[in-house]
Amino acid sequence: MSQTVETMPDAEEVMRRLTACDDDPYMVEKLYPRIVNQLAGRELTGSGVVMGLTLAISDYGADLGDIHGPIVTKTLMIRLGHLVKHLLGDSKVLSDAQADLRELGITT
């Protein structure tokens, strides 16, 4: 099945949308720049958005080490549905991303 492609907004707008979802200073400073790097300005499908978020979260967790990394990564993965909604708004790409999240067992 072919997914719809959407051009993600520029870095400033991606950061604004992420901050609207959760403005925790630590996430804004440490995690969101990684997400912006993965997504901003790129043409992505819903699967591409989920993959970009997953890569950013995984890299972030890996940097936290073996003790804190796995639990922080799992906690952030639970929030993927919220991040996707804020990043994509109401679009066909959102529906595709949410379908991927449901296949991963993540509620949206």
Task: Give 50-105 pLDDT, tens digit per residue.
Answer: 999 999 999 999 998 988 889 999 999 999 999 999 999 878 899 999 999 999 88
Q: Are 61 and 88 contacting, i.e. CB atoms less than 8 angstroms apart?
A: no
Q: Residue 1: is its pLDDT beyond 80?
A: no
Tell me the domain boundaries of the chain: 6-103
Using one digit for the tens of pLDDT, what is the confidence trace for 20-47?
999 999 899 999 999 999 999 999 999 9
